[in-house]
């Protein structure tokens, strides 16, 4: 079996998600990248390739020591994905995008504060903006890792955003939520400074988010 065949369904899912990123305007062109944890490493989108042209063999198998396998070169942000997956064992997928409103706020070096309770979806009382560093560097990876301490998403100064998930679907869902929050916050700033929720309320919201969206298990069907 070829390397691509070992993870064929996962590779196809990554390609579909990458295309969905562009179709949903979460990303543009060949910017942004995706990774998914697999045994012994992670799969990563290749550098500089049109998502619509990708085939499963184009996905790069990365090892945590920086080695890669396959016919393509990995995304320039491979260190970012490697360091996040190495440091956060609960994370199964990493999504990086240059979404319009997150990037707009990131170019202002602004966090997204507790202007809306859904900020808690990213794991805390705000969505931090990581300090700027050149793309594809270990410094950028370190800055993002620090900004994601206790969080599942962050902005990247003068660059974009990152969202983490247990799988591709949850990472994509969170990225859309954070971009929506960024758009709402940006619009509110056009009128004035939004009224922020206080720490006590955000603590209540974070507690409620521990069970938010969970459905009870359905009984087995009879017959």
Asked if the model's pLDDT at residue 3 lies above 90, the reply is no
- pLDDT category, 36, cuts 50, 70, 90? very high
Concatenate the DSSP letters of all residues of 53-94 into one string.
G--GGGSEEE-TTS-EESSSPBPTTHHHHHHHHHH-TT--EE
pLDDT band at 222 (very low <50, low <70, confident <90, very high): low
> Does 136 reside within a domain?
yes
Q: Residue 222: inside a domain, yes or no?
A: no
Residue of 6, 77, 139, 201 marked active site = 77
Count up the domains in the chain and report the number: 1
Does a structural domain hold residue 48? yes
How far apart CA 106 and CA 118 sit, in angstroms, is 19
| Residue ranges making up the domain that contains 27 | 8-209
222 counts as catalytic: no
How confident is residue 211, by pLDDT bands cut at 50, 70 and 90? confident
In a domain, 223, yes or no: no
Q: Residue 85 is part of a domain; what is its CATH number?
A: 3.40.225.10
Average pLDDT estimate for 76-96: 97
Higher pLDDT, 188 or 48: 188
The tokens describing 22, both together, are: 């562009």
In our burial notation (b when 16+ CB lie closer than 10 A, e otherwise), range 184-195 reads: bbbeeeeeeeee
User: Where do the H-state alpha helices sit in the chain?
Assistant: 3-6, 8-23, 78-87, 100-107, 138-147, 168-191, 199-209
Q: Please say if the pLDDT value at position 1 is more than 70.
A: no
């Amino acid at each position: 079996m070829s390397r691509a065949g070992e993870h064929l369904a996962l590779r196809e899912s990554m390609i579909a998600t990458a295309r969905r990123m562009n179709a949903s305007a979460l990303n543009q062109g060949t910017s942004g990248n995706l990774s998914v944890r697999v045994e012994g490493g992670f799969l990563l989108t290749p550098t500089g390739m049109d998502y619509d042209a990708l085939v499963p063999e184009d996905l790069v198998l990365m090892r945590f020591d920086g080695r890669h396998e396959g016919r393509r070169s990995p995304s320039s942000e491979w260190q970012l994905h490697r360091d996040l997956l190495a440091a956060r064992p609960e994370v199964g997928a990493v999504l990086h995008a240059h979404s319009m409103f997150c990037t707009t706020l990131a170019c202002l070096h602004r966090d997204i504060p507790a202007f809306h309770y859904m900020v808690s979806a990213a794991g805390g009382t705000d969505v931090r903006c990581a300090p700027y560093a050149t793309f594809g560097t270990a410094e950028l990876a370190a800055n993002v890792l620090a900004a994601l301490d206790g969080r599942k998403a962050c902005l990247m100064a003068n660059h974009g955003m990152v969202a983490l998930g247990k799988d591709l679907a949850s990472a994509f869902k969170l990225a859309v939520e954070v971009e929506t929050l960024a758009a709402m916050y940006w619009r509110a700033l056009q009128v004035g400074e939004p009224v922020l929720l206080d720490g006590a309320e955000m603590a209540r919201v974070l507690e409620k988010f521990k069970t938010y969206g969970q459905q009870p298990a359905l009984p087995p069907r009879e017959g």
